[in-house]
C-alpha cells in the first residue's frame, strides 16, 4: 500500500475501513519497505479488502466574467466599464 515509513507516518491519522464494515487505524510501520501494522475492532476475514478514504480537492469552474460595479464584462473584450474613481488612458 505504501513505499516508505514516511508515507505511513503521513497517513497514520486516516481511519481505515473494510468492505465488510470494520473500522480500524494504522498502528505502526514495520521495516523500511512500506509495511504496516493495523488494528481493527474485530478480526478481518481473508476475503475482506482494506480501504482508505482519500479525497480530491475540487476547485470551482473558472469563469471569464468579471463583476465591476454591478455590471460585468468579458475578459476578451477591450471595453471595460469605467467608474467615477477610475482613471482612463484617453
pLDDT tens-digit readout, 4-16: 888 888 888 889 9
Q: Report, as an integer, the average pLDDT of 44-68.
A: 78
Average model confidence (pLDDT) for the chain? 78
Q: What is the pLDDT of residue 7?
A: 87
Percent of the chain as helix, strand, coil, to the nearest 5: 10, 30, 60
Q: What is the mean pLDDT of residues 59-64?
A: 71
Euclidean distance between CA atoms 62 and 84, whole angstroms = 29
What pLDDT sits at residue 34?
85
Amino acid at each position: 500500500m505504501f513505499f516508505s515509513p514516511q508515507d505511513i507516518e503521513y497517513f497514520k491519522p486516516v481511519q481505515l475501513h473494510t468492505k465488510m464494515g470494520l473500522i480500524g487505524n494504522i498502528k505502526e510501520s514495520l521495516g523500511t519497505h512500506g509495511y504496516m501494522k493495523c488494528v481493527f475492532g474485530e478480526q478481518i476475514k481473508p476475503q475482506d479488502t482494506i480501504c482508505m478514504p482519500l479525497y480530491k480537492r475540487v476547485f470551482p469552474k473558472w469563469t471569464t466574467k468579471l463583476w465591476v460595479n454591478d455590471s460585468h464584462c468579458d475578459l476578451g473584450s477591450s471595453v471595460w466599464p469605467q467608474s467615477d474613481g477610475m482613471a482612463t488612458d484617453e
